Amino acid sequence: MTDPQSPPVADWGTYRRLAPFLRPYRGALLLVLLISLLSTALGLAQPYLSKLMIDEALLRRDMGALVRIAAIMIGVTVAGFGVNILASYRYVAVSAAMLYDIRAALLRHLQSLSPRFYGSFRLGDLVSRMNSDVSDVQRIASDTLLSVVSNLLFFVGCVAMMLWLDWRMFLVSVVLVPASLATFAHYQRRLTALTREMRERSADLGSLLVDTVMGMRVVASLRAGEHEVRRFKARNDAFVGAMLRMQLASFMTGALPGTLMTAATSAVILYGGWRIIEGGMSIGTLVAFMTYHMRLLSPIQTLMGLTSGLASARVSLGRIFELFDTRPEVEERLGALPLARADAPIRFEKVSMRYDREAVLREIDLEIASGSLCAILGPSGAGKSTLADLMVRYLDPDAGRILIGGVDIRDCRLDDLRREVILVDQAPFLFNDSIAANIAFAMEDVSPAAIEAAAHAAGLDGFIARLPHGLATRTGERGLALSAGERQRVVLARALLRSPSVLILDEPTSALDGDTEQLVAGRLRAALPHATIIVITHKPALARLADSVVTLEEGRARMTRQAARAA
Ligand SMILES: Nc1ncnc2c1ncn2[C@@H]1O[C@H](COP(=O)(O)OP(=O)(O)OP(=O)(O)O)[C@@H](O)[C@H]1O
């Protein structure tokens, strides 16, 4: 993983990585290409029809030819209009479907990354990659690629028609192309660097906004509003400066080479005029040639302008593929075994784990009996949450193994493991939805009675009865419309509804008073009579209810059979 402060610019080969996403749409894209070919042919016919109009109808004073050619011109224009609309419509539909596939694949991939990744990656930067960068690629894919194809086709067609009409005049027409291309290449390199800088500044701004909004209560209580506005202004100034520099380079990349090419027009008029006066060329040919020459500029200018879009998309693609390239720390083994139930003993065998260079767990040996209530105690930072993360494979140990019923959990299907072993985190997370939807999150066909039973088991029934909308009450952004203790019980109900074989609770009652804690503890066992329940806690009262107690200290685990003795 590179430093998020310096997002990569993908090399041009990165576009090849889009191939798997393009493959399902090969047929549809080929059809768009054929429609574009037809549209180009219709566009190229117009100047030649003007030549016929001048040389065959006007100069010969032939009224019949005039009407015929005018009718063909109108027909070609109308057909070109229809074909263009069809090509754009089809292309935008295909590119939108393709971009959806990329976003969905990215979302799936992000879900496979460990909490450690989310702990180290800036949230604002992540959102900016999912949103702005994918949108940027979408914009380029929907506008630019069709434009590149049709302009290239048009360019090739123009060159062919000009060579066919008069090759000497063609040479005059393209004499300034090399200078124009050199100018373009210079500004294009500058543009790529400036685009990357602009994206970095934009991600800085996004991260600050996310941080400030998430920490709004701290900002308000410390009266740091003005401090945050100043930080925002500094980052916004840096962003605007980078954007202006990029815009200037983008303009120069398209406009300077185009201006050079326009100068060639005078040379064509001079040379063509001289050939007509000498009697070596018809007026119709010069008019048609001039039209092709002028139209030649347009695809060159458009293609040059588009490269700024492509440069920007290259930066965005680099940022998107950097996420795709972040390997999940935990992956399912090929041929992983199904796990029907996990009501079996859990064994830790010489499990060691370190973050960066610091060892958190050292050769832990432990057995937790099936169906027991086990309390894990230990000072803050001893590695209790890490132990829990290992049991649901948010992380894998550096050494040693964890077995359920004698099977290494790394050999089990991840989906099965996480269905049977549920971890309720220390920081309960609620979605901005109803209490019922939060309890039944991502489950289908759950009866209201089952949700109510889970809410009762989590000690929420009294609270819900007092609410005017009951279970339909919304929980607010991140559940902040509920108290900390209520949030804890909603996530507990969410876990209970799923009837896991193993339930791990990381400080589940830290925000509850003693009476509510006793009530919840009592109902928990009744709701899951056969499950193994592992409770990480700092509370002696909760530990006293446990069948066994494990104390973690300095990376080592000590097991005490009786809660009363341990406490
Ligand atoms: N993603 C991480 N990167 C680096 N160090 C980490 C990471 N997560 C945890 N740690 C460190 O590992 C140690 C154990 O953390 P852990 O959260 O497992 O402790 P804990 O016993 O659950 O603490 P508490 O009782 O305060 O919740 C701590 O020193 C912590 O700073």
Residue ranges of domains in the chain, CATH in brackets: 12-324 (1.20.1560.10), 346-566 (3.40.50.300)
Residue nearest to atom 5 of ligand 1 (CA): 355
Tell me how far apart the alpha carbons of residues 195 and 239 are, in angstroms, rounded to a whole number: 11
pLDDT, residue 407, reads 93
Query: Scanning the structure block, which residue is given the tokens 């919840």?
Result: 520
Ligand 1 atom closest to residue 538's alpha carbon, by position in its atom list: 25
- Nearest-angstrom CA–CA distance, 379 and 94: 57
Predicted local confidence at residue 234, as pLDDT? 94
* 168 CA to centre of own chain: 52
- pLDDT band at residue 211, thresholds of 50, 70 and 90? confident
pLDDT of residue 516: 78
- At 484-495, the pLDDT tens digits run 889 999 999 999
Residue nearest to ligand 1 atom 29, measured at CA: 381
Distance set, CA 12 to CA 103, 130, 196, 304 (Å): 21, 21, 15, 16
The alpha carbon dihedral of 99, 100, 105, 108 has a sign of positive
Unique residue bearing structure tokens 């099965």: 416
- Looking at ligand 1, which atom is closest to the CA of residue 382? 21
pLDDT at 566 > cutoff 60: no
Q: Give 465-480 pLDDT, tens digit per residue.
A: 998 999 999 988 777 7
What does the angle CA 66 – CA 71 – CA 72 come to, to the nearest 5 degrees?
A: 100
User: Measured in Å, how far apart are the chain's first and last C-alpha atoms?
Assistant: 44
Tell me the whole-structure pTM to 2 decimals. Answer: 0.72
pLDDT digits (tens, 9 = 90+) for 416-470: 999 999 999 888 899 989 999 999 998 888 999 999 999 999 999 889 999 899 9
Closest atom of ligand 1 to CA, residue 116 = 1
Dig out the tokens for 515 from the structure. 């009476």
Residue bearing the bigger pLDDT, 385 or 341: 385
* DSSP line for 171-206: HHHTTTHHHHHHHHHHHHHHHHHHHHHHHHHHHHHH
Cα(414) to centroid(ligand 1), Å: 23
Of the pLDDT bands very low, low, confident and very high (cuts 50, 70, 90), residue 308 is low
Residue 172 is encoded by which pair of tokens?
């005059």
Please give the pLDDT value at position 496. 95
Distance 361 CA to ligand 1 centre (A): 10
Higher pLDDT, 152 or 397: 397
**477: CA distance to ligand 1 center in Å?**
26
**Per-residue pLDDT at 302 exceeds 50:** yes
pLDDT at 565 over 60: no
